[in-house]
Structure 1
Amino acid sequence: MNYRHAFHAGNFADLVKHAALLDLLARMQASPGPLSVFDTHAGRGLYDLAGDEAQRSGEARAGIVELMRAPDLPPALRPLRQAVVRLNGGEEANLYPGSPLLVAAALRKGDAYLGCELRPQEHSALGEALRSWPAARTACADGYVEVAARLPREGAALVLIDPPFEKSDDYERCAAALGALTRRNPAAVVMVWLPVKDLETFDAFLREAEDAYDGPLLVAEARMRPLTDPMKMNGCALVIANAPEGFDVPLKEICEWTVSRLGSGGKAQVWTA
């Protein structure tokens, strides 16, 4: 695999994923008792938006930079902006936090986080990024396998599945993991992020997810442009099992703002499958 998230850090898809993650985390932490959070594809945890990769792609300028400047930011996106402000010590976004850093900074006493990253160099950077948070641990391992083995069989748990989708079986493994993890722990909330390139691939994944999980799935789609070129990432989607009640409201805010502010001719929608 040659995927490097540094090229894409802070883009529109990160805004959707991370704003939703922070809202979901806060909702789950509103209940008493410890929370276990698992990240199957954690990445390096911290990204330099002034670095060569980010500057070359320019995706952050059309994503987090626009969010930081927006005067009309809806409530569901404000925690992400606040997290970026805290990280950078001001309104200018030179550094961008991945999901490991966002979760680690929000952990309460008794909560725990495990970030899995298969690539040794990225895993080493992840460990360095999380050094200040002893409750946040890492594993240099296949996240699908590691989380399946470590997920507690009961209690509050949140799993983020966010592969790069460069392997041909990632869609299949995501759907299978969603089903297997919720069977292992029926209380676990599992959120899958995926790119939206063409409708056929997206619909096929939803069918597989519905077959794997015996329950309603909350689906949020931020389609940034018409699906006319399947070689491009034309949008992104979140598919959530065991979504908390009312989570559709912030998801709609997040997707609608992202599409209307950063997209062109796209649409946002949230529904139950």
Structure 2
Amino acid sequence: MTALAAGTWWMTHRRLSALLRNPAVLVMTLAQPMIWLFLFGQLFKKVVELPGFGAPSYLTYIVPGVVIMNAVSLNSFAGMATMDEIERGTLNRFLVTPVRRSAIANAGVIEQALSTAFQSLVIILLGRLAGAHYPGGLTGITILIAASVLIGVVLAALSNTLALLVRDRNTIIGLNVMLLLPLTFLSSAFMTKDLMPPWIRHASTANPVSWALDTARTTLSDDPDWTSAALHGTALLALTIATVSLAIFSFRTYQKSQ
């Protein structure tokens, strides 16, 4: 086993052990997506009657939106855990050990990915029990979960980078709150693109949340557009690699400032 793999293993084991000691966190953070799923699903269910909406039921349409937005919301505050480790001095102790910086970053990515995948699966199952349909079957569901993990990792990596560079909780909270609504409503999370104002529709094409949604929605349909899915999925994967690399680099910047 290489030094990087060994370091990643032990750092991941440490983070998952802490998570398993407090599993209620994963359950409690499901409250918000449940409100989106069932409250919005009932409140706006007649939206599908609008000409051009193009979905048989609003609940079926909204499940991918809730899954992706939950991933965004869940991971946007990942930097708060990094702030905890900075304030306790834990991170500084790790940075002077032989453990590689990339192993520390990888552990955070794996923890966030597993948490996101678990919550995404719960939302999908609850949506199915409520009457949502997934014509794309297991393949579409798997790609939806993968898309939620990728967009979650993007937000987690950016949040951790901010924590390492700025080291201020209020800045992290303020920036995340400021970005959450634009990321949500400049995407097709809750409304189909065909019914959006033109400027929002154009803006959504540059929104990574829309990339995740476009990848997931087409593969969940009964007639997937695999070219579109591959295009948006590749863009999302490239962004994920770039943001994780930025988070790893930010460890070096943080260490030099100590």
Flag the structure with more relative contact order, 1 or 2, with Cα contacts below 8 A and sequence separation at least 6. Answer: 2
Superposition TM-score, scaled by structure 1 size: 0.25
**Higher share of residues assigned strand:** 1
**Higher share of residues assigned helix:** 2
Q: Which has the larger radius of gyration?
A: 2
Superposition TM-score, scaled by structure 2 size: 0.26
